[in-house]
Amino acid sequence: MEWAGKRVLITGGAGFIGSHLANRLLELGADVTVLDDCSAGDSAKVPEAANFIEGCITDSATRTSALDGVDAVFHLAAIASVPLCEANPEWSDKVNLQASLKILQEASCPIVFASSAAIYGEPVSIPINEDHPIAPVGHYGEQKAAVDNAIRSIGVDSNSAAALRFFNVFGKGQDPSSQYSGVLSIFIDRSTSNRPITIFGDGEQTRDFIHVSDVIAALITCGESLIEQGTSSPAHGESFNVCTGQPVTLNQVVKVIEDSIGNKLEVGYDKARDGDIKYSSGDSIKLQQNFGWAPKTTLSEGISDLIS
């Protein structure tokens, strides 16, 4: 699809994934607007070529202004910190749930929503496909699940929309000092600054790490389908896992980092944290079969890129 001339809104576009998406859409010729209150994002990450609205999605006037005349919305804005959501559930409900539902109601164009594997909770079967029971643990997962469910409940009389359930996204641009940051960026930051790594538990817990470039490809692919086909798109009213389907243990992650930097790391083990899921592995066959998408960046390639 030709993105040239398309007006696109990215909520949360000053964040890790959002800024990567903004850059890619600009490369494709889109007219990009970023809406972000920078409570977690960084305005410096917003590309110079993008229009930038510094504001919160909870504000009605800000939403109206940002949504005016756009051809597609990529809704990534959220309080992504589980501890923050638990500490202030009322505010996270306003941001993650109520404002998201407002965007679904108020937008007059296709919407791609950033859902999360957190909606599955503790897996009852591995790998996790989209039919896995929805049983989130905590407010963040519950709020993401509610918006995800709203999208799956919409009919053909509404705007076209889809939800992408991200697993463990990694890549350049994640701030290792941020409470939003993933374990991979923290490990690499410590390993490249000669500091010890702490693993909570025995290190045999598994995660499905997906590179940000593959996430961006999935977002754009679904966005294109919704723009071109509307409610006839196979993406409309559906949710899709975005993952590799190749889980690795945290101990294996350490080994990949060691191989990449050529040094042995100092690793310590601490008591497993309450609420941490032991095993996680996704199934992205639905996304692959519908759109021909497939993850392209391996864990070792992604780690090497981060370290270089």
Span 145-203, pLDDT tens digits: 999 999 999 988 889 999 999 999 999 998 876 655 678 888 999 998 989 999 999 99
Domain annotation covers residue 256: yes
| Backbone angles phi and psi of 209, in degrees to 5 | -85, 125
Residue 12: pLDDT band with limits 50, 70, 90: very high
Q: Both 161 and 274 in a single domain? A: no
DSSP 282: B
Map residue 137 onto helix, strand or coil: coil
Residue 266: pLDDT band with limits 50, 70, 90: very high
Name every residue whose Cβ is closer than 8 Å to that of residue 78 and which is 6 or more positions away in sequence.
Answer: 12, 95, 96, 100, 114, 144
Q: Both 129 and 187 in a single domain? A: no
Q: Both 25 and 86 in a single domain? A: yes
pLDDT at position 141 is 96
| Contact between residue 169 and residue 210 where contact means Cβ atoms under 8 Å apart | yes
pLDDT at 127 over 70: yes
pLDDT at position 308 is 80
Q: Both 224 and 95 in a single domain? A: yes
Domain annotation covers residue 297: yes
CATH number of 264's domain:
3.90.25.10
Q: Both 214 and 269 in a single domain? A: no
Q: Both 86 and 149 in a single domain? A: yes
Q: Both 120 and 197 in a single domain? A: no
Say how far apart CA 14 and CA 22 lie, in whole Å: 9
Domain annotation covers residue 2: no
CATH number of 69's domain:
3.40.50.720
Say how far apart CA 61 and CA 229 lie, in whole Å: 30
Q: Both 41 and 129 in a single domain? A: yes
The per-residue pLDDT of the chain, averaged, comes to 95
DSSP 155: -
Say how far apart CA 23 and CA 45 lie, in whole Å: 10
pLDDT at position 269 is 96
Domain annotation covers residue 176: no
pLDDT at 88 over 60: yes
Structural domain harbouring 98: 7-170+209-242
Domain annotation covers residue 287: no
HEC assignment per residue over 207-224? ECEEEHHHHHHHHHHHHH
Proportion of the chain above pLDDT 70, given as a percent: 98
Residue 28: pLDDT band with limits 50, 70, 90: very high
Domain annotation covers residue 145: yes
pLDDT at position 178 is 65
Q: Which amino acid is at 105?
A: Q
| Contact between residue 34 and residue 55 where contact means Cβ atoms under 8 Å apart | no
Q: Both 160 and 237 in a single domain? A: yes
pLDDT at position 179 is 56
pLDDT tens digits, residue range 58-82?
Answer: 999 999 999 999 999 999 999 988 8
Say how far apart CA 114 and CA 116 lie, in whole Å: 7
Domain annotation covers residue 288: no
Say how far apart CA 207 and CA 288 lie, in whole Å: 20
Number of structural domains (the chain) is 2
Q: Both 109 and 254 in a single domain? A: no
The whole-number average pLDDT for the span 15-39 is: 97
Q: Both 47 and 13 in a single domain? A: yes
22-36, 268-282, 292-306: lowest mean pLDDT where? 268-282
The pTM score is 0.96
| Residues annotated catalytic, as ranges | 140
Q: Both 108 and 231 in a single domain? A: yes
pLDDT at position 232 is 96
Domain annotation covers residue 124: yes
